[in-house]
Structure 1
Amino acid sequence: MDDEAVDMSGEAGQAVPRSSIRGSGAREAPADTRDMYMVHTMFRREFAALPALVRGVAAEDAERRAVVADHISFLSGVLEAHHRAEDIHLWPKLLDRGTDEIAPVVQVMEGHHERIEELAAQVAAALAGWRERATTEQAAALAHVLRRLAEVLYEHMALEEQRILPLAEKYVTAAEWRAMAGTSGAGLPPGKMPLVFGMTLYEADPEVIENTLSSLPSEVRTLLQEQGTRDFAMYSERVHGTSTPCRSAPLGPRN
């Protein structure tokens, strides 16, 4: 069969044209989505820890409150950049190239993003109140909305891993996947890329790390791995009180 042969592994048993992830020349390499699991693990670990961090701040400890508040704002920004990149790069390609069965799950994912944006706005409002007045009520309100955000985020990431990432490997090229990561990175605060990479390295599979860095110049790989690891250790010591915080786990019961 020639290059226009079909791949019979399509969604719901339907034939997927090879042209769905090819350019003008030979068939392009498909996306390797393993790095998304690495990012999701970081989000699970860090967002799940936030309510307890807030509740653990003494009302009179303004310095500690500022550290935790800045951490919440930083994480929220990282998540926003990550989801904006998916909105720009991933959902349109899946809808354009995939079968009809893909549209409903993409709509669910887009709905999750909207709900997460709503909760992030509530977090920002509660955070502003907590920064200004560190009462027990303000802390409880902030911890509550952070827990709700973590619950929706866990649900979203689980569905994405189950349904979306296998589709991305069929319909998105490796170059397009890297472009999405580039857009996400460009949305980070200046100078924070090593720290964010260090946060993802903490629980990552070495093979996935090697693959993620393989297309970068050697000096950039060294910067991300070495400085990222150092930056995260120092940052985690300041935020969590240890350079080796608890690893990601399922959400426990609400307190």
Structure 2
Amino acid sequence: MSDVVTSKPDVHDMVVVHRTFRQSCAELPDLVRGLRPGDTARAALVVDAVRFMLVGLEAHHVSEDEYLWPLLTARTGVRAEAVARMEEQHHRLEELVTEVRSALDELTADPRPPLADQVADQLTELASVLTAHMDEEENTILPLAAEHLSVAEWEDLGEISLAKLDKKYLLRAFSALMAVATPEEQRTLLTKAPAPARLLWRLSGRRTHARREARLRAGHGG
């Protein structure tokens, strides 16, 4: 099969996905650090937000590890070092995800300051590594993907990523994307989404996401 790409994929949708992670990176460390001893209800809400971010991050990165990096490595020649660097960053992020996740059950049951500070520090480090990774990915990898992948291959990457995500998170993930998207980006996302997803987002996803986010922010710093 020829590797000639006759039409370029719209890789901007990954920038929107990254935007959801950037928002979480900016907010979650402070939310965790702000937990009060004994407030297990608040801890459960914040920990749920952390778990959701970690689940989405893993699905996103595993799809790149299994599908995107092999394709780009085979097609970019001397620029394969950029892909190798992405893989190394993924390994470090996996380590940080494991560190954070190992403390979440205990944090939910007992949100005491030393533990909350520990998890917040871990999330801050994760945010630093992830932000640098996403910056480089957007500046280096996405242009390579647009140049070397077909539209169908790029769409396959999205399908693989969704398949890695637990079905119970699908509407929540789509609603999070729509919440950070511009009106133009929303229109593009809606054209790509299956009809059931569009309907569920309009019926309940948009409002459920807004209520969840309002609860997270209302309980912070009060």
Q: TM-score, normalised by structure 2?
A: 0.90
| One-letter amino acid of the structure 2 residue matched with residue 60 of structure 1 | G
Alignment partner of 1:44 is 2:27? no
- Residues 152 and 192 from structure 1, CA distance in 2 versus in 1: closer, same or farther, beyond 3 angstroms? same
Describe the superposition over 1:4-53 as per-residue Cα deviations: whole angstroms up to 9, x where unpaired.
xxxxxxxxxxxxxxx4344xxxx3x3221111110111100012211111
Higher mean displacement: 218-227 or 179-188: 218-227
Q: Distance in 2 between matches of 1:150 and 1:215?
A: 29
- Deviation of the 1:232 alpha carbon: 1.3
Give the residue type in structure 2 aligned to 1:58. R
Query: 1:196·1:228 contact (CA, 8 Å) conserved in 2?
Result: no
Q: 1:137 aligns with which of 114, 117, 123?
A: 114
3-state DSSP of counterpart to 1:59: coil
How far apart in 1 are the matches of 2:110 and 2:41? 13
Measured after TM superposition, the shift of residue 172 of structure 1 is 1.0
Q: Which runs of 5+ in 2 are unaligned?
A: none
Once superposed, which parts of structure 1, at least 4 consecutive aligned residues long, lie more than 6 Å away? none
> Are 2:9 and 2:149, in contact at CA under 8 Å, matched by a contact in 1?
yes
Q: How many Å separate the matches in 2 of 1:123 and 1:149?
A: 9
- Deviation larger for 190-199 or 165-174: 190-199
Shift of 1:184: 1.3
Report the more deviating stretch, 143-152 or 124-133.
124-133
Match of 1:20 in 2: 3
Q: Distance in 1 between matches of 2:89 and 2:203?
A: 35
List runs of 5+ in structure 1 lacking aligned partners: 1-18, 243-255
- Higher deviation after alignment, 143-152 or 206-215: 206-215
Distance 1:225 1:185 in 2: 20
Contact in 1 for aligned 2:36/2:113 (Cα 8 Å)? no
Please report how far the alpha carbon of residue 225 of structure 1 lies from its aligned counterpart in structure 2 after TM superposition: 5.0
Highest RCO, 1 vs 2 (Cα 8 Å, sep ≥ 6)? 2
Asked if 1:200 is matched to 2:183, the reply is no
1:90 aligns with 2:68: yes
Are positions 1:76 and 2:31 aligned together?
Answer: no
Report how far residue 220 of structure 1 moved. 3.6
How many residue pairs align between the two structures? 219
**Is contact 1:195–1:232 with CA below 8 Å preserved after alignment?**
yes
Aligned equivalents of 1:223, 1:216: Cα separation in 2? 11
| Preserved CA contact (<8 Å) 1:37 1:161 | yes
> Partners in 2 of 1:78 and 1:53 — Cα distance?
19
Q: Could you say which structure has the larger radius of gyration?
A: 1
Give the match's secondary structure for 2:37. Answer: coil
**Secondary structure, aligned partner of 1:156:** helix
Alignment of 1:170-209 (within 5 A): 170-209=147-186
Are residues 182 and 225 of structure 1, via their aligned partners in 2, closer, same or farther at CA, if it must alter by over 3 Å? farther
1:211 to partner: Cα distance: 2.6
RMSD between aligned alpha carbons? 2.0
Change (3 A) 1:219 1:68: closer
Question: What is the TM-score with the length of structure 1 in the denominator?
Answer: 0.79
Aligned-partner SS, 2:3: helix
Residue 219 (structure 1) shift: 4.5
Structure 2 contact 40–110 (Cα < 8 Å) conserved: no
Alignment of 1:127 onto 2:86? no
1 CA distance for matches of 2:163 and 2:63?
Answer: 10
String of CA shifts for 1:85-131, please: whole Å, max 9, x gaps: 1112211110111221x211101100110000000011012323323
